[in-house]
Amino acid sequence: MAVRCWLVRVGSLAWRKEGVTTGTGGGGIIFRVAFQFRRAQVSPHPKITMSTTLSATSQLDQLKKFTTVVADTGDFESIRKYAPQDATTNPSLIFKAVQQEAYKPLLEKAIADNSSSPLVGEALQKKIIDDLLIAFGCKILDIVPGRVSTEVDARLSFNRDATVEKARELIGLYKKAGVPRERILIKIASTWEGAQAAKICEKEGIHCNLTLMFSLGQAIACAEAGVTLISPFVGRIYDFYKAATGKEYAGAEDPGVQSVNVIYNYYKKFDYKTQVMGASFRNLGEILELAGCDLLTIGPNWLEDLQNSQAEVTQKLSPEAARNMDIEKIDVDEKVFRWMLNEEAMATDKLAEGIRKFAADIVKLEAIIAKSI
Ligand code: E4P
């Protein structure tokens, strides 16, 4: 009787697209019932025993078995909704978020907190932006159990020492806010200078996420620098080749997917500890094709699609498979790094464009702040 009543409630919850639930029936027997019922399909007298499993787990829950799922957004409600382990932001996402009514108070507080600061002009704007990034990070860390990535000013991408200085400042501000460094990834562009800055940071226990990654040379330099995590960009590689050829790439043919495959297999083959987090997606196929990658950072629209589908997810990447591959080791010093990057037009263009665009969004954010101080 208890089960029957509960199933009727499941039927009504079906409209909320909750997915699958697990519960304990009388006598402690575990039962699982999928919420994919439509109201009309729920019999008033369902013949279901306590141990019945009625199919389907969402693709999101299946993916979480192979890969750590990370939310790629500055929107707190989306992060809450999909229960990711970590979250990532970038200057464009923060710029987008502060233009929404819901997040304006964070910006207003960062400005108010600095109202009696001795800093003026650009220095004051930069401090307000740092406080804003920390405010976003802290709010996100109230939601996720893991880490948040906070990006350093993209204009420092070719300045190793200034990047290290900014990373230390951000970690110091997090510390003041009561957040330990273990929960932070400092996001730095994957330039040569960025990788060398990360090498210094990691030695100080400041963990780094090397972003704007489009090529194996960048990935090797980051692994050799001992960085905690890299973010190879799938979608922006797809964008480049789609624009160049007019072709729509799908699944394993997608050059962005192929790029992550190459990097992941290289890392696992040679036993690098640096984690690989696929980022920047343009379609669900790219995400599914990378199931098994250490982490994937996924925007809310794709998280929603994954949550709403129960199609089977298959693991595509694994350390075991990579170890059996025939892969040549490459020694990457600064000269080789620059040469490899220069040889790949896509990576050269996308790295430069990515830095330009993130920098432009920081400048726009500064302009908003300048008007208010
Ligand atoms: C995450 O770390 C990246 O900043 C993000 O995935 C970039 O995505 P985009 O290429 O859609 O801007």
Each residue of 223-281: pLDDT tens digit?
999 999 999 999 999 999 999 999 999 999 999 999 999 999 999 999 999 999 999 99
Q: How far is CA 44 from CA 1, 4, 36, 260, in A?
A: 12, 8, 16, 50
The residue-averaged pLDDT of 200-216 equals 98
- Residues 276, 264: Cα–Cα separation, whole Å: 6
Taking the centre of ligand 1 as the mean of its atom positions, its distance from the CA of residue 233, in whole angstroms, is 7
Strands of the sheet with 20-24, listed across from one edge: 20-24, 30-34, 53-54
Left, alpha or beta for 246 (phi > 0: left; psi -120 to 50: alpha)?
left
Which pLDDT does position 84 carry in this prediction? 97
Mutate to test the pocket of ligand 1, among 90, 234, 239 (most ligand atoms within 8 A of CB): 90
DSSP letter string, 113-182? HTTT-S--HHHHHHHHHHHHHHHHHHHHHHH-SS-EEEEPPGGGTT-HHHHHHHHHHHHHHHHHTT--GG
pTM equals 0.84
Q: What are the CA-CA distances from residue 57 to residues 11, 33, 60, 62 (Å)?
A: 16, 10, 8, 7
CA 211–ligand 1 middle distance (angstroms): 9
Q: Is the C-beta atom of 283 inside 6 A of ligand 1?
A: no
What would the pLDDT profile of 332-364 be if each residue is shown by its tens digit?
A: 999 999 999 999 999 999 999 999 999 999 999
Report yes or no: 84 and 145 within 8 Å, Cβ to Cβ: no
Q: Is 60 exceeded by the pLDDT of residue 14?
A: no
Determine which of 9-13, 109-113, 300-304 has the lowest per-residue pLDDT on average: 9-13
- Other Cβ atoms less than 10 A from the Cβ of 121: the count is 9
Confidence category of residue 175, pLDDT binned at 50, 70, 90: very high
Q: Determine the residue of 233, 276, 290, 355 to mutate for testing ligand 1's pocket, defined as the one with the most ligand atoms within 8 A of the Cβ atom.
A: 233
Give the list of residues 6+ apart from residue 306 with CB closer than 8 angstroms, or none: 58, 59, 60, 63, 284, 287, 298
- Provide the pLDDT for residue 174: 98
Please, are residues 346 and 241 in contact by the beta-carbon 8 Å criterion? yes
Supply the mean pLDDT for the chain.
87
Counting atoms of ligand 1 from 1, which one is nearest the CA of 211?
2
Structure tokens at 74: 């500055």
Look at residue 373 in the predicted model and tell me its pLDDT: 87
End-to-end, the C-alpha distance of the chain in Å comes to 65
- Which DSSP symbol is given to 247? P
For the segment 51-70, the average pLDDT, to the nearest whole number, is: 82
Name the pairing type of β-strands 20-24 and 30-34: antiparallel
Q: Is the pLDDT of residue 94 over 80?
A: yes
The verdict on the CB of residue 235 being under 6 Å from ligand 1 is yes
Per-residue pLDDT, 340: 97
Tell me which of 64, 127, 166, 187 is the catalytic residue: 187
What tens digit of pLDDT does each residue of 108-144 get? 999 999 999 999 999 999 999 999 999 999 999 999 9
Residues 39-55: what's their mean pLDDT?
Answer: 36
| Structural domains for the chain | 2-54 (no CATH), 59-372 (3.20.20.70)
Angle among Cα 69, 73, 79 to the nearest 5 degrees reads: 60
In the predicted structure, residue 105 carries a pLDDT above the cut 60: yes
Give the torsion through C-alpha atoms of 220, 226, 227, 231, to 10 deg: 20
pLDDT at 38: 31
Is 187 assigned a catalytic role? yes
What is the per-residue pLDDT for 56?
A: 80
% of residues, the chain, pLDDT over 90: 84
Query: pLDDT at position 176, please?
Result: 97
What sections of the chain are H helices per DSSP?
Answer: 2-13, 59-66, 76-82, 91-98, 104-113, 121-143, 160-176, 192-203, 216-224, 235-245, 255-269, 284-289, 300-308, 319-323, 334-343, 345-372
| pLDDT tens column, 135-161 | 999 999 999 999 999 999 999 999 999
